[in-house]
Chain A
C-alpha cells in the first residue's frame, strides 16, 4: 500500500514570497490533516479536512495560510506572504473517516516538506 506522498521535500524562499505544498493521501482515506512542526517541537494541527470539507481550521493563520482539497483527494497548502517564523516542516497525514466504532484510527504521516524562509 502506497503511503502519504508530499512534494516538494525541501523549499527555500525569501520572506514575503509565496509557497505551496502538495499532499496525496493514502487511497480511501477520507480525512486529511496539515501539521506544522517547528524544530524541537511536536506537530501542531493547522487544518483538518473530511473529504473536501473543512472540519477544523482554528489554528490556521488565515491572514497568510490557505488550504484546499477540492475533489476530496489531493490537497494543497499555501503561504502568502511567508514570514521568517514560518520556517518549519509541514507534515500531511491521512486517516480513515472517524467513527465512534473505530478503535485507534491512526494517522499516517507523509515525509514532510522542510521550509526555510530567509
Chain B
C-alpha cells in the first residue's frame, strides 16, 4: 500500500513563486506524477519524475528525491489561471503495471 501526503490548501500572490510538497511511502516506487485539476474539470498531466532531480517545463518544475520519499512542484510567475488543485500521484511497481495512487490534492488560490 501507499501513503501520500500533501498540504490541503495554499495561497499565493500573482507573479510570485509557490512550492507544493508531496511525501510518499511505497514498497515499489516506479514514478511520480503531478496533475492539475481545475474545479469541475478532469485532471490534466503536468509532469513526471522517475529519477532523482529536477524536471523543468516552462513555468512549472518538479523535483524528486527517492531516498527521502519526497517531491515538490514549483510554479513560477504565478497567474490567476493557476488557481486549481494539484494532485501528486505515485506509480507502484506491481502486477497492475500503470496503476496510480493519488494524494488528496492541494488547492492553490492565486490572489491579485
A interface residues (Cβ-Cβ under 8 A, vs B):
4, 31, 40-45, 48, 50, 55-56, 91, 95, 97-98, 103-112
Judge whether B101 is part of the interface by a CB distance below 8 angstroms: yes
Q: How far, in whole Å, are A56 and B95 apart by their CA atoms in the complex?
A: 9
Q: Which of A91, A105, A111 has the most CB of B within 10 A?
A: A105
Assuming the contacts A43-B43, A111-B42, asked whether A98 and B104 have C-beta atoms less than 8 A apart, the reply is no
Main secondary structure of the interface of A (DSSP, over half): loop
B48 contacts chain A at the CB level, 8 A cutoff: yes
Q: How many Å from the CB of B47 to the closest CB on chain A? A: 9
In the complex, the answer to whether A95 meets B98 with C-beta atoms within 8 Å is yes
Within 8 A of A (CB), among B37-84: 41-45, 48, 50
Interface contact B43-A48, CB-CB below 8 Å:
no
Q: Which residue of the partner chain, among A31, A42, A44, contacts B97 with CB atoms under 8 Å?
A: A31
**What is the CA–CA distance of A91 and B41 in the complex, to the nearest angstrom?**
10
What A residues does B33 contact at CB under 8 A? 104, 106
Report whether A42 and B99 are in contact in the complex, using a CB–CB cutoff of 8 Å: no
Interface residue total, chain B, C-beta cutoff 8 A: 23
Give the complex CA separation of A40 and B104 in angstroms: 7
Q: Are B42 and A107 in contact, CB atoms less than 8 angstroms apart?
A: no
In the complex, what's the smallest C-beta–C-beta distance from B98 to chain A, in angstroms? 4
Residues of A within 8 Å of B100, CB to CB, are 45, 107
Q: Once the chains bind, are A45 and B101 in contact (CB under 8 Å)?
A: yes
Question: Are A112 and B105 in contact, with the CB atoms below 8 A?
Answer: no
How many angstroms from the CA of A95 to the CA of B97 in the assembled complex?
11
* Sample (11) of A-B pairs whose CB atoms are under 8 Å apart: A40-B105, A41-B105, A42-B103, A43-B87, A48-B99, A56-B96, A56-B99, A95-B98, A104-B45, A106-B45, A111-B41
Among all A-B residue pairs, the 5 with the closest Cβ atoms? A98-B97, A42-B102, A98-B98, A109-B42, A104-B48
Give every chain A residue within 8 A of B105 (Cβ-Cβ).
Answer: 40-42
With both beta carbons as reference points, the residue of chain A lying nearest to B107 in the complex is identified as A40
Known contacts A104-B31, A106-B33; decide if A55 and B96 are in contact (CB<8 Å). Answer: yes
A112 engages B42 (CB within 8 Å):
yes
B83–chain A nearest beta-carbon distance, Å: 16
User: Whose C-beta in chain A lies nearest to the C-beta of B33?
Assistant: A106
